[in-house]
């Protein structure tokens, strides 16, 4: 928010409208009132967060396959996010982080329910009956779905972002197009429902006021989504029986890395670059899985697979390079939030 004083070099000349406590909700960092993402430029921290999202979520499909051998889908998504989110909220409180307001917590909880209780749970429920490659192909529709939701809500999506999204999806189809030749399965519809829920959650997270602190925002989303998913799983009769070592390894990887590090990285990208750029992980996932298989399992990718990977990366680069830039806004000071924090 621009300062209204004419002599910015003299602190005492600042008018009341520029004083910290006069900052309105629309000037808070996570509030979106316009149609442009709050993106100004790529930096090392943003690039690292995007790379972590690509790497960790791209390798999550194999971990899900192993974990669902012993953990039922809703409890798998619920318990790991509930525990991780609760620990992160406690950590944020102990560190004295800005906890936000009840309103921002409610918004974050709604996003968490959509992305975890609906998105992750439906994905976990559908993936046992669908090949991991097929699941990755279906989830590659996420950036397209995000663009559609944004367009329906009246937010402008640039032509180059549409083009980059189309290029990325084309690369995924080139990589695993034969996976969709499998006869229609219930699992495919569950995964498509997960894509829709995740897209709506991503758009809401980008357009509503969320807790300013990334740690708090991520923790609340994970805790709320995990709590709802766990409750639903218990109500429909899901129980955890004997856990195999492979399933436990998958669960721990999902809980510690995919949920905590991956989700926090995703929220950071979503906050600073917008929903379209953040959702680009969906069509980067298949080539990441391909490269991980080549590195960890010694699988040799075919020339077609390598070409498809190059096409996918071209699409991702197009989306990220043409993410609309918005001028940076003045951040309100700490005292601006002191009257409206959670106890």
pLDDT in tens, the chain (343 residues): 444 444 444 444 444 444 444 434 433 444 333 334 445 567 788 888 888 988 888 888 778 778 888 888 889 889 989 999 999 999 999 988 888 899 999 999 999 999 888 987 888 788 777 766 666 667 777 777 787 787 787 777 777 777 877 887 787 677 666 555 555 467 777 888 888 898 899 888 878 888 988 889 989 999 999 999 999 999 989 888 888 898 899 899 988 898 888 888 888 888 888 777 787 787 777 777 777 766 765 666 667 767 776 777 777 677 666 665 444 433 333 333 333 334 3
Q: How many CB atoms lie within 10 A of CB 203?
A: 26
8 Å CB contact between 288 and 55: yes
8 Å CB contact between 37 and 202: no
156: its two tokens: 């402008």
Could you give the CA distance from residue 233 to residue 127 in angstroms, rounded to a whole number? 16
8 Å CB contact between 280 and 320: yes
170: its two tokens: 């084309």
Question: DSSP string covering 233-263, please?
Answer: HHHTT-------HHHHHHHHHIIIIIIIIIH
8 Å CB contact between 323 and 39: yes
What's the pLDDT score for residue 109? 95
Reduced to 3 states (helix: H, G, I; strand: E, B; else coil), residue 140 is: coil
94, 95, 96, 100 alpha-carbon torsion, rounded to 10°: -90
The DSSP symbol for 68 reads T
Does the predicted model carry a pTM greater than 0.85?
no
Task: Please state, in angstroms and as integers, the Cα–Cα distance from residue 101 to each residue in 107, 119, 336, 343, following that order.
Answer: 10, 25, 12, 9
Closest among 238, 260, 233 to 57, alpha carbons compared: 260
134, 265, 71, 178 alpha-carbon torsion, rounded to 10°: 0
Q: How many helical (H) and strand (E) elements, i.e. helices and strands, does the chain have?
A: 15, 0
Could you give the CA distance from residue 197 to residue 6 in angstroms, rounded to a whole number? 48
Question: DSSP string covering 37-56, please?
Answer: -S-----HHHHHHHHHHHHH
Task: Please state, in angstroms and as integers, the Cα–Cα distance from residue 119 to each residue in 124, 142, 162, 319, following that order.
Answer: 9, 11, 23, 23
8 Å CB contact between 150 and 35: no
8 Å CB contact between 72 and 143: no
Q: How many CB atoms lie within 10 A of CB 253?
A: 20
Reduced to 3 states (helix: H, G, I; strand: E, B; else coil), residue 287 is: helix
Closest among 133, 127, 132, 143 to 189, alpha carbons compared: 127
Cβ neighbours of residue 288 closer than 8 Å, sequence gap 6 or more:
54, 55, 58, 59
């Amino acid at each position: 928010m621009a300062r209204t004083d004419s002599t910015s070099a003299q602190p005492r000349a600042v008018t009341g409208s520029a004083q910290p406590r006069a900052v309105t909700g629309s000037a808070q960092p996570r509030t979106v009132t316009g149609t442009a993402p709050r993106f100004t430029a790529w930096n090392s921290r943003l690039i690292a967060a995007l790379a972590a999202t690509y790497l960790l979520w791209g390798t999550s499909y194999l971990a899900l396959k192993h974990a669902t051998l012993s953990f039922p889908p809703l409890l798998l998504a619920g318990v790991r996010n509930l525990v991780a989110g609760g620990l992160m909220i406690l950590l944020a409180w102990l560190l004295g982080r800005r906890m936000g307001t009840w309103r921002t917590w409610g918004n974050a909880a709604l996003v968490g329910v959509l992305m975890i209780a609906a998105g992750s749970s439906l994905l976990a429920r559908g993936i046992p009956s669908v090949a991991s490659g097929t699941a990755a192909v279906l989830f590659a529709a996420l950036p397209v779905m995000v663009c559609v939701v944004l367009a329906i809500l009246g937010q402008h999506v640039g032509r180059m972002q549409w083009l980059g999204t189309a290029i990325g999806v084309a690369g995924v189809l080139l990589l695993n197009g034969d996976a969709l030749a499998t006869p229609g399965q219930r699992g495919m519809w569950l995964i498509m429902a997960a894509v829709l829920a995740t897209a709506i959650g991503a758009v809401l997270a980008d357009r509503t006021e969320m807790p300013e602190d990334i740690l708090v925002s991520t923790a609340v989303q994970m805790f709320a989504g995990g709590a709802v998913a766990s409750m639903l799983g218990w109500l429909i009769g899901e129980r955890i029986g004997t856990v195999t070592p492979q399933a436990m390894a998958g669960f721990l990887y999902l809980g510690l890395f995919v949920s905590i590090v991956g989700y926090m990285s995703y929220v950071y990208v979503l906050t600073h670059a917008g929903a379209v750029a953040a959702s680009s992980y969906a069509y980067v996932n298949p080539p990441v899985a391909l490269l991980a298989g080549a590195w960890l399992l010694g699988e040799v990718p075919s020339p077609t697979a390598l070409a498809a990977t190059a096409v996918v990366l071209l699409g991702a680069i197009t989306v990220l390079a043409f993410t609309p830039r918005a001028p940076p806004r003045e951040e309100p000071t700490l005292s601006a939030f002191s009257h409206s924090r959670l106890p």
